[in-house]
Structure 1
């Protein structure tokens, strides 16, 4: 007679559906954009600057344009050749800074080697910096808030809010310390009253750190680095990694930084890759554009 599986053996983590959550956010943004258009005769405007012909960047820019227009916002794209100089990009940024119809400016990274990303980011008006990378917005994130928050960490926090009623007092581990994800993620978790540890390539005994975490955010860019036996039972796992690996027969597939199949029986909730954090990033870009428009144009703080 076959023994019935135990409850522990059959437990499966809640799959955090970032695609569905992003769609709900886009619908709220679309409704608010329509209201603003009817009330003020104008819609928020997002300008995206693409330098060169990087294939991945072209896909990202196209998808951002589609999502922007679908939500009822104004989408403007500026494409410069790969030979463009830093002065060319800075001149375009200055023009967009001065354009009253543009509420958000995004310069697609990476940039060609002759252009300093740091110089370009710092040239963007912080009030229009919808990526949230300007030093002014970084400083506000770590101090009193009120700035524009980087899109991917912002999306992670919205996903966390959907599965965790209270974050205060929880132990959070952020694996990765980039300025785009790891550091701002840590700041947001601290602001939510979590006890935060940031791990990186020189951290000792990473598995032991992971096993203490109620919330684990993986953002290192290494496929399946976080193993299932690293995860604390019932923990919430947010996988930011997007890694393309060989799937055989000349095909590839996307995987995260977490060994998903190993993690599912252990975690309480987990984001898949794809379909987890990724869709939230573009939705939060639109959210930031709306917030920037409300502040710049005197429409007030928009509840999104």
Structure 2
């Protein structure tokens, strides 16, 4: 994913800085680097590539990223805004891409029954919040959900993000449903040179005969995630430049007011002398 992301950034003219830390680096060193990026005006967006090794506190590192540069949209302020059905500073890339995919074939989500499998902070939780904002009736399923198949079978919209290969079969799906497969996992495949193959949560071949629309793995949600990241980066750049321009204008206006104020005092003084 990171190679594809960097390639697309280069294609659209966005400069990237990739900082790789080996496991000998301390939590403190990584946090200090994030703080440096926060204060660097030449940096518009910051993305922490997850998952991090277990020795690091990922939440603490991600929370340090300024919400104004959190182009991944996982800062608590962004997540909190979504929970309140308000406009976040940035919408998380994958959920944002999923909503775009759904709306491309179903412009009005209002009143639809949506089932989301997986409750991660990166996909499951935010996409359920975005679907609620669109006035869908949302069921959020997880490891302890009973009768998962029943929840799937009544969904007009199904989003699965678990990383469990072939969790969903075609006979689970409501006919005509929109099925979004976010899960990715490698399985053994001796016919491939690498000996493995990337698959999703959805058994694509069996589901495509039942669903109205279904995204493949690979080549489905992944490209949309990268597209939404580019969208967030451009938005961050615009805001940053507008903010700096606004600050310069305000400074100029303040200087102008100070000059006019000084001039008025001087005129009054001359009039007094007369």
Same fold (TM over 0.5): yes
- Choose 147-156 or 247-256, whichever is displaced more: 247-256
**1:200 and 2:158 are equivalent in the alignment:** no
> In structure 1, what is the equivalent of residue 154 of structure 2?
212
How far does the alpha carbon of each residue in 1:212-243 deviate from its partner, in whole angstroms, 9 at most, with x for none? Answer: 10000011111111111110000000010111
Structure 2 residue corresponding to 1:266, chosen from 203, 210, 214:
210
Match of 1:66 in 2: 7
After superposing the two structures, state which structure 1 stretch, 241-250 or 216-225, moved more: 241-250
The structure, 1 or 2, with the larger RCO (C-alpha pairs under 8 Å, 6+ apart) is: 1
What does residue 131 of structure 1 align with? 72
Structure 2 stretches of 5 or more lacking a match?
Answer: 244-274
Q: Secondary structure at the match of 1:88?
A: helix
Greater Rg by CA: 2
Q: Is the helix fraction higher in 1 or 2?
A: 2
Q: How many residues align?
A: 240
1:16-27 alignment to 2 at 5 Å? none
For residues 129 and 181 of structure 1, what CA distance do their matches in structure 2 show? 16
1 or 2, which has the higher strand percentage?
A: 1
Q: Distance in 2 between matches of 1:93 and 1:177?
A: 27
Contact 1:141 1:147 in 2 (8 A): no
Identify if the C-alpha distance between structure 1 residues 87 and 201 changes in structure 2 by more than 3 Å, giving closer, same or farther: same
Q: Please report how far the alpha carbon of residue 98 of structure 1 lies from its aligned counterpart in structure 2 after TM superposition.
A: 0.6
Q: Residues of 1 paired with 2:231 and 2:97: CA distance? A: 10
1:56-88 Cα distance to aligned partner (Å, 9 max, x none): xxxx33322221121111212222232111111
Residue 289 of structure 1 is matched in structure 2 by: 233
Q: TM-score, normalised by structure 1?
A: 0.76
Provide the TM-score with structure 2 as the length reference: 0.84
Matches within 5 A, 1:171-250: 171-249=113-191
